[in-house]
């Protein structure tokens, strides 16, 4: 059974403002992805082949998926996300037809961005051998994907974004001109970006007086965007629990009953 059919096709609701930092990358992406999608006619007029795809690379949890979704949102394009390993598993249960089916689905949803997360798991350099080297299966999957990318055209607007933490082990064929030929590095966030990520993650939460996003950025050097989001979620959970416990304590006092610390500790985690 193909898991692909379950992959949702929809315009994501991720906005640029949900992504902290990476301002330069956001600008770069607009030109690379938006122009070919929105001004296809101009490319044709100038006899230019619009780019078919980009490759995002960089450490995990720094916004590759978010970026891909935000650009789809901005262009009003549909978005299909497929994880590399998922595609391989599918292969074992099916045939080359699965990859064709995926591209068919994307073309039908045009304009569409097809996002291959962990693309290195299928696109390891072919015939390289070595630990975790290529197998017949992944060779055939990647060959099929490459030929589908080469076949993009015919008035359908389909844009491919690949994401990887390991560009060094990728099949160079994937990055040949006309395929994922633009590389975009998405780094660990710097100080200003960490500030922006805290701000984005806490935009709906009240924060302690005197605490600034700058101070939070000071103490989180080396943290990824995903780490920072996790910190904010945990802090919010504690704060929610605190306010529930103190709320109950207030109610009890109204009824002239005191709440003990043991009782408070025993209260369930609210989230």
Binding site for ligand ATP (CB under 6 A): 19-22, 60-66, 117, 163, 165, 189, 197, 200, 225-226, 229
Q: Where are the alpha helices (DSSP H) in 151-255?
A: 191-201, 213-218, 225-254
- In the complex, the smallest distance separating the C-beta of residue 204 from ligand ATP, rounded to whole angstroms, is 14
User: Which residue of this chain has its Cβ atom nearest to ligand ATP in the complex?
Assistant: 225
Residue closer to ligand ATP, measured from CB, 112 or 119: 119
- Torsion sign, CA atoms 37, 185, 11, 159: positive
- In the complex, the smallest distance separating the C-beta of residue 120 from ligand ATP, rounded to whole angstroms, is 10
CA distance 269 to 271: 6
Strands laid side by side in the 53-57 sheet = 78-83, 112-117, 158-164, 53-57, 182-185
> Are 180 and 159 within 8 A, CB to CB?
no
Residue closer to ligand ATP, measured from CB, 123 or 163: 163
> Are 33 and 157 within 8 A, CB to CB?
no
> Are 226 and 60 within 8 A, CB to CB?
yes
> Are 120 and 164 within 8 A, CB to CB?
yes
Q: What is the helix (H) or strand (E) element at residue 104, kind and residue range? A: helix 97-108
| Closest C-alpha to 160, from 262, 81, 96 | 81
Residue closer to ligand ATP, measured from CB, 12 or 111: 12
Residue closer to ligand ATP, measured from CB, 231 or 264: 231
- In the complex, the smallest distance separating the C-beta of residue 3 from ligand ATP, rounded to whole angstroms, is 18
- In the complex, the smallest distance separating the C-beta of residue 164 from ligand ATP, rounded to whole angstroms, is 8
Q: Please give the DSSP secondary-structure letter assigned to residue 175.
A: G
Residue closer to ligand ATP, measured from CB, 103 or 223: 223
Residue closer to ligand ATP, measured from CB, 119 or 152: 119
Residue closer to ligand ATP, measured from CB, 36 or 225: 225
The partner residues of 161 in beta bridges, in order of sequence, read 54, 115
CA distance 18 to 199: 9
């Amino acid at each position: 059974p193909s898991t692909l059919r379950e992959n949702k096709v929809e315009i994501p609701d991720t906005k640029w403002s949900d992504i902290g930092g990476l301002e330069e990358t956001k600008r770069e992406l607009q030109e690379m992805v938006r122009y070919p999608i929105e001004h296809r006619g101009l490319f044709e007029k100038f006899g230019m082949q619009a780019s078919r795809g980009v490759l995002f690379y960089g450490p995990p949890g720094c916004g590759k998926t978010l970026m891909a979704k935000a650009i789809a949102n901005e262009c009003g394009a549909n978005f299909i996300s497929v994880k590399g390993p998922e595609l391989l598993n599918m292969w074992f249960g099916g045939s080359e037809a699965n990859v064709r089916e995926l591209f068919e689905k994307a073309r039908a949803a045009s304009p569409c961005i097809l996002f291959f997360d962990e693309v290195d798991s299928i696109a390891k350099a072919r015939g390289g051998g070595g630990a975790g080297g290529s197998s017949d299966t992944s060779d055939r999957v990647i060959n099929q994907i490459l030929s589908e990318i080469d076949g993009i055209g015919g008035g359908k607007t389909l844009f491919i974004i690949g994401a990887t933490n390991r560009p060094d082990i990728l099949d160079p064929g994937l990055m040949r001109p006309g395929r994922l030929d633009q590389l975009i590095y998405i780094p660990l966030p710097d100080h200003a970006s960490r500030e922006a990520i805290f701000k984005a993650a806490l935009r709906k939460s009240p924060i302690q007086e005197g605490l600034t996003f700058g101070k939070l950025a000071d103490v989180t050097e080396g943290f990824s965007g995903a780490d920072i989001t996790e910190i904010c979620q945990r802090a919010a959970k504690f704060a929610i629990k605190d306010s529930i416990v103190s709320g109950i304590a207030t109610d009890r006092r109204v009824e002239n009953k005191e709440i003990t610390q043991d009782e408070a500790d025993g209260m369930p985690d609210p989230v």
